[in-house]
Every structure is written in structure tokens, then in C-alpha cells.
Amino acid sequence: MVMNAITPIRTPAEQALIGAFGALRDSGPASAALEGLRIDGFSRFEASGLPHRRVEDWKYTDLRALMREARPLAGAPDASVLLAAKVAVGRLPRVGGSRIVLVDGFHAPDLADGGALPEGVTVSDLAAAMAQRPEISALVTGQPATRANIAFALNNAFLTEGLLIEVAPGTELGHALDLVSITSDGAPRLVTSRIVVVVGAGASAGIVETHLGPAGVEYQKNVVMQVVVRDGATLEHGRRQIEGDQALHLATLEASVGAEAHFDSLTLTTGAAVSRSQLFVRFAGEHSNVTLRGVSMLKGRQHADTALVMEHAVPHCQSRETFKHILDGEAHGVFQGKIIVQPVAQKTDGRMMSQTIMLAEGPSMDNKPELEIFADDVACAHGCTCGELDADLMFYLKARGIPHKEAEALLVEAFAREAIEDFGGGPLAVVEELREAMLTSVTEWMRART
């Protein structure tokens, strides 16, 4: 986007973000490692402001309009906040092995649960690791496409702490890591968190993120996860976004997948008033495969956007993207997906599908499934459908005595199941647990409809 030479008029939210950055800077220096990131992120934000509908990538999620105010930055939680968080997190059924908890974006080791970390897994401070290991620094800086993204830039600008999770080469985890990120009750704030996951060569791991927070509070959350799946490794990644109903949730997942590696990611979205899930995934080694999937169930006036860029930068890789939207009320769903095949990426096999079911007259859905192909020996496809539940199928079920609402629920579950069903494939017990948890959420969501 070419920017005008004219100084743009700052919205109140932009002014608040600029102010917050100044205050953060004045409050004392960040570690040297984070300082560079912060300045880079802030200058990118300052140059372009919040993205709006004239910025192509944000065409359907006009952040300038949707983010009217910027909340003050969340500080490290005190004892009472931690206690309240402990109670809330305790109510959440575990879907994996060891639980790692973040409160308001800060690591809360005291809230860890489910026993000690399994052998081969280490959790450490990101800034410290960046200072000592240039490869971690480089990784945190991000790929060019991610760096150009404003949500990512804002995450950099307000980064005070990060977490590095490493799985040693060859490790095989029996259970996934259960990562819970909770926002505390009280005055609404802006939460920023950063997690880097490195799965060593030949290792096999799973990680499940759950994002939640209080209802009725207009808190804002900007989370970034950067993943490296090294050669021959496998990572199953699950994500549940069940934020409070007034929340604004921006999530970025960046992944780099090595040779003969496997990455499978499933996102379930039911929470937040406004949310955007961004995925930037790149093949870095040959003969690998990636599956990206998502189910978004939205009601009322919820807005949820999935924006993904799948980049085939090397030959012989396979990617599958399957996204489902179930829309009720006056909800607004957005899917923007792009498969890029670089000139060298011959023998690429990529398939992207976005499907939507509307359960009421009010919702709207915007789809933009893009292909950008520079190599000739490839097979790429995308598909997109949008409509209401099939009247014939409904009739069939009702003719067999199934009440209208149940018939609807059955069809919706079957629709969502397509994306969830074959998730994983790794040896992890948690994959099954997560799959079940996701399907239960679908059922409960349908049941809660009035």
C-alpha cells in the first residue's frame, strides 16, 4: 500500500497506542534483545496506523473502525489476580498433559498443573534466549510477510515478556502441552503475549492453546505464536478461542516447517466480539505436509476473520486448508486464504476449502480464497461454498421424526466434523481428547441457540 505523504489523522485508539508506547519506553529499558523488536514494531505501526478497509489484507476487518479505543497495557498480575486466575483456570477441563498458564500475557509458573514438564521439554524466558542465541533472535524477528503485518508489529511494540518452549530432538510426547492464556477480570486492558515453539528434529509433540477471559469486559488481546517444526518432526497444534463476549482478539500464528515434517493445526473460534486469526505458514524443507483447519461458530454481532498465507517455497510439499463457518444472528465471518507457490516449488499439491452455513437471515460471509502460482508443475485447487442448510437433508431427517432443532444440530455437527475429524494422526492421546473437546463445543454451541 502506498502511503500518502500527508500526515494521517490519528484515531483515538492510535493516539492511545502511541502514548502507551511512550509510557512503556519511559518506564525503563526492556532487555536489549526486545528493545530492537519493540522499536521496529512501533515504527511500522506509526508509519501506517491501524489497518482499515482500503488495506487489502484487512478489507473485511476494518480494525480502525472496530478498535475504537486502545486499552491501557496490562501489567504483571499481583497475588489476588493470580488467585482469581487459578480458580478460573482450575474450572477448565484439561485437554493435555502438563499445563502452562499465562495470566494477562505473563507466565505464571505457580499456576502450572498436571505434573512436571515431560522430559525433553523446556520452557524458558524468551528475552534471555534471544540474548544468547542468535538463531532464536532471527526466528522471533519473523518472516517478511509476518513482519509487514500490523497486528504482529503491535505485538512487537508492546512486548515485555516472552516464552520459549523447546522440544528436544527425537522426543516423543505422549500428551500435548496444555497452554492456557487467561485475561483477568476488572478494568479492560490490552494484553500482549509471545510464545515461540521449537520442535527439534525427529521429535513429535502436541500443543493446545486455550484463550479465555471475563464476559462483559472489553479487553483486548494480541497474541503471537511462532513455531518451528524441524526436519522430520511432527507438531499437532490445537487452539480454542473462547474469549469473553466483549473481547477483541488478534492472534498470529507463524510456522516454518522443515523437511519431511508434519504440521497440523486446528482452530475453534466461538468467543470474542471481534477476532482475527492470522496464519503465516511456510515450507522450508521438501516432502513435508501441512494441514490447517478451523471451525468458527458465530452468533449475535460477532465478527471473526481468518487470514492465512500458505507459502510453498520448496518443491514436493503438500498442504490442505479446510475452514468452516457456522453463522447465526447477524454475525460476520471472513475467510481470506492465499496459497503461494514459488517458482522453485514444483510438484506442489495444495488444496484450500472454505465452507459456510448460515442459520439465520442476518449473517454475512466474505470469502477471498486466492491462488498465486509461479511454478508450472503443480496441482492447486480452492473451493468455496456458502449457503443455508440443505432443505432436502432437513426434510429427510424431519421425515424420520427428528425435530427441527435436532436435525439442524445434526447437520451442523456433521459439517463441522469434516474439519475436525481427521485432525492429528500423530501418536498423541491428546489429539483424541482435543477432537472430542472441539466436537463437544460444537454440540453445546448448537444447544445454546435459542
Q: Decide if residue 322 touches other proteins (CB under 8 A).
A: no
N- to C-terminal Cα separation, the chain: 44
Q: Decide if residue 145 touches other proteins (CB under 8 A).
A: no
SS3 assignment, position 174? coil
- Nearest alpha-carbon partner for 227 in 271, 297, 166: 166
Per-residue contact track with other proteins, 329 to 358, x per CB under 8 A? --------------x--x---------x-x
Q: Which is nearer to other proteins, 117 or 371 (CB)?
A: 371
Q: Which is nearer to other proteins, 46 or 418 (CB)?
A: 418
Question: What's the min distance (Å) between Cβ of 381 and other proteins?
Answer: 4
Question: What's the min distance (Å) between Cβ of 331 and other proteins?
Answer: 11
Q: Decide if residue 119 touches other proteins (CB under 8 A).
A: no
Q: Decide if residue 27 touches other proteins (CB under 8 A).
A: no
3-class DSSP string for 252-306: EEEEEECCCCEEEEEEEECCCCEEEEEEEEEECCCCCEEEEEEEEEECCCCEEEE
Contact 450, 299 (CB under 8 A): no
Integer Cα distance of 340 and 352 in angstroms: 12
CA neighbours closer than 13 Å in the CB half-sphere of residue 62 = 7
Q: Decide if residue 381 touches other proteins (CB under 8 A).
A: yes
The dihedral through the CA atoms of 280, 284, 287, 288 has a sign that is negative
Contact 185, 216 (CB under 8 A): no
Q: Which is nearer to other proteins, 81 or 407 (CB)?
A: 407
Integer Cα distance of 397 and 99 in angstroms: 42
Q: Which is nearer to other proteins, 11 or 61 (CB)?
A: 61
Q: How many residues bind other proteins (CB under 8 A)?
A: 36
Question: What's the min distance (Å) between Cβ of 59 and other proteins?
Answer: 8
Q: Which is nearer to other proteins, 118 or 329 (CB)?
A: 329
Q: Which is nearer to other proteins, 131 or 386 (CB)?
A: 386
Q: Decide if residue 379 touches other proteins (CB under 8 A).
A: yes
Q: Decide if residue 313 touches other proteins (CB under 8 A).
A: no
Integer Cα distance of 200 and 43 in angstroms: 34
Selected range binding other proteins among 36-44, 118-126, 168-176, 372-380, rule: CB under 8 A: 372-380
DSSP state of 117: P
Question: What's the min distance (Å) between Cβ of 363 and other proteins?
Answer: 7
Selected range binding other proteins among 177-185, 192-200, 285-293, 376-384, rule: CB under 8 A: 376-384
Question: What's the min distance (Å) between Cβ of 334 and other proteins?
Answer: 10
3-class DSSP string for 59-104: CCCCHHHHCCCCCCECCCCCHHHHHHHHHHHHCCCCCCCCEEEEEC
CA neighbours closer than 13 Å in the CB half-sphere of residue 367 = 17
Residues 37-76 that bind other proteins (CB under 8 A): 56
DSSP state of 344: T
Question: What's the min distance (Å) between Cβ of 376 and other proteins?
Answer: 4
Candidate list 110, 135, 388, 444; residue touching other proteins; CB under 8 A: 388
Judged by the rule CB under 8 A, the positions of this chain that interact with other proteins are: 2, 56, 343, 346, 356, 358-388
